[in-house]
Structure 1
Amino acid sequence: MSDLDHEESGAGAAAAAWRIGVLFSRKGHMQVPETEHFRGTALAVEEINLAGGVRGRPIEPVCYDPESSSELYRRYAERLLTEDGISTIFGCCASSSRKAILAAVERRNALLWYPSLYEGFEYSPNVIYTGAAPNQNSLQLARYLFAGYGRRFYLVGSDYIYPRESNRIMRDVVGREGGEVVAEAYVPVAPHEDQIRRVVEDIRRRAPDVVFSTVVGTGGQAFYRIFREAGLDPRTMPIASLTMAEGEVLAIGPELCAGHITAAPYFSTLDTPANHRFVAAYRARFGREAPVTMYAEAAYFQIHVFADALRRTGSLDTQRLVDAALGTEYEAPQGRIRIDPDNNHTLLHARIGMVNAHGTFDVVWEAKAPVKPDPYLVDHVHDHV
């Protein structure tokens, strides 16, 4: 996939190419996870094209960098759907960016493939959701924390929809199980370090058993660093997250993160043949030290699921692609996944990892089978967390 690191790519590609849009940030406060989304996408497209493309035609990505800005996401999505004549987009990390482009995607009957965990409570016939819904990470995380650390939770998040909704779910679960939320605090999406320090000082004062963090991007990196600088010990009071992955751990420093916990479908240390192939290919393409994360993995497998649907339909028509994708199974690096025809979300593997001294994750718990997505938490009242 030539020129993928430019704003647009593939201008000289064959006219017969399958053209797709790619919207992930390589600048701004979400640069680290979104660059991993971008790289996973690039690797999968390159693999497919090197193997002869789809029906003998290459996939041609048209890429823009929204720079972690919802307004740029909105503008570039409109450009892809109108000026570029593209109907299938792979993109978005934060829920704020997904919400920013969803109306345009639906209005033009386009298709968005969304590879990020999110807060749930959404369904669009124009979206394939390949990241975790709350019943695939939050509920398992709460169960693990109750068993191993205690029931006094401190909730802290960035101030936008994903953290507020995720904390609402966690507050409900904690209360229903007889636990206590000792405080709930929010910081701006791009906070000043003094704002983080005030939260960390409040955590020290209230001494919870565990901190559930939905602080994302550069704010999350600052939070983990300041938490350790304040002398708080993750062995007795861990930060538990749904978003902190290997790339940001590397950016913060593994020595500052060891002992913290993340719930996710994928960690780079998984010992499966599909994951060994994925990690080797990723590092061959992006460097021996490149962190391999859940963001890269979901972006990678969704391109392969798309290509499979495209082979069967021979068309970029949205309805035909969606119909073909629903029910599709794929041997992803995390294990076998399936696009759920009931709700356009994905059956994923629920896992909990603890950061080790190398900056990767030791898997400390995993579900025995893929977990069916329940984005509206219809059934979670029956789950005993």
Structure 2
Amino acid sequence: NQGIKAEDIPVVAFSVGEEELAGFDTAPLVGHLAAWNYFQSVDDPANAEFIKSWRGFIGDPERVTNDPMEAHVIGFNLWVQAVEKAGTTDTDAVLDAIIGLETPNLTGGIAKMLPNHHITKPVLIGEIQADGQFEVVSASDLVPGDAWSDFLPESKLIEADWTAPINCGNYNTETKACGASAL
């Protein structure tokens, strides 16, 4: 960190979590921040059960969990629900069935699959602690995932909607075109 102290210039990392910090001396990083949708330190019964289960499975009582792991828990649970709803593992049927399904996340909220095949998740800001964990210092309400940015001119008019009649991941709302010609 080149000697930059959090109290002088706090740095926010967008791809640093518990797993990345596990191999570091975190003393010089204490107080810096990270943005994720999940931190192991979140106090929630579902999270505590997941951590216990993971550590039991891996056979390491100190092993950390992280945001990508929570994303897989959510994705797998939504997939199971969609297979049950569709009555099959056929890809197209599952893709149709998954839209609108909800499952608990590990931070106390609900993840909902939207028509754009993105989910709702909170945004958490965590402060790095000496033990390599994060103290959540800010948490948003659930934020709907968006496949395209309204702030970039190239994608301002593009949306993803995997329901009829659009059924397209890059649909131009102005030209009504789908696919590469929409961009």
TM bucket, shorter chain: 0.7 to 0.9
Residue 311 of structure 1: how far off its partner (Å): 1.5
How do 1:303-342 residues align onto structure 2 when only pairs under 5 Å count?
Answer: 303-334=76-107, 335-341=109-115
1:273 aligned onto 2:45: yes
In the alignment, which residue of structure 2 is the partner of 1:110? none
For normalisation by structure 1, the TM-score amounts to 0.37
1:282 aligned onto 2:54: yes
Instruction: Please give the per-residue CA displacement for 1:53-103, whole angstroms capped at 9, x wherever unaligned.
Output: xxxxxxxxxxxxxxxxxxxxxxxxxxxxxxxxxxxxxxxxxxxxxxxxxxx
- How far, CA to CA, are the matches of 1:236 and 1:328 in structure 2? 44
In the alignment, which residue of structure 1 is the partner of 2:10? 238
CA contact (8 A) 1:263 1:351 kept: yes
- How far, CA to CA, are the matches of 1:313 and 1:375 in structure 2? 25
- How far, CA to CA, are the matches of 1:249 and 1:349 in structure 2? 22
Q: Could you say what secondary structure the match of 1:365 adopts?
A: strand
In the alignment, which residue of structure 1 is the partner of 2:35? 263
In the alignment, which residue of structure 2 is the partner of 1:137? none
CA contact (8 A) 1:235 1:259 kept: yes
CA contact (8 A) 2:21 2:132 kept: yes
Give the gaps of 5 or more residues in structure 1.
1-226, 381-385
Residue 379 of structure 1: how far off its partner (Å): 7.2
In the alignment, which residue of structure 1 is the partner of 2:123? 350
1:271 maps to a residue whose letter is D
Q: Would you identify which runs of 4 or more consecutive aligned residues in structure 1 move more than 2 Å?
A: 377-380
- How far, CA to CA, are the matches of 1:366 and 1:323 in structure 2? 31
How do 1:1-385 residues align onto structure 2 when only pairs under 5 Å count?
Answer: 227=1, 230-286=2-58, 287-334=60-107, 335-341=109-115, 343-367=116-140, 369-378=141-150
1:281 maps to a residue whose letter is S
Residue 249 of structure 1: how far off its partner (Å): 0.7
Residue 258 of structure 1: how far off its partner (Å): 1.3
- How far, CA to CA, are the matches of 1:375 and 1:261 in structure 2? 25
Q: Which has the higher helix share?
A: 1
Q: Could you say what secondary structure the match of 2:22 adopts?
A: helix
Judged with a 3 Å threshold, the aligned counterparts in structure 2 of structure 1 residues 363 and 289 are, in CA distance, closer, same or farther, namely same
CA contact (8 A) 1:257 1:359 kept: no
Sequence identity (%): 26
Q: Could you say what secondary structure the match of 1:375 adopts?
A: coil
What is the root-mean-square deviation of aligned Cα atoms in Å? 1.8
2:110 maps to a residue whose letter is R
- How far, CA to CA, are the matches of 1:280 and 1:257 in structure 2? 27
Instruction: Please give the per-residue CA displacement for 1:270-310, whole angstroms capped at 9, x wherever unaligned.
Output: 11111111111111212111111101111122111111111
Instruction: Please give the per-residue CA displacement for 1:229-279, whole angstroms capped at 9, x wherever unaligned.
Output: x32212212331111000111112222321121111111111111111111
- How far, CA to CA, are the matches of 2:118 and 2:30 in structure 1? 32
Give the gaps of 5 or more residues in structure 2.
153-183
* Length, aligned pairs only: 151
For normalisation by structure 2, the TM-score amounts to 0.76
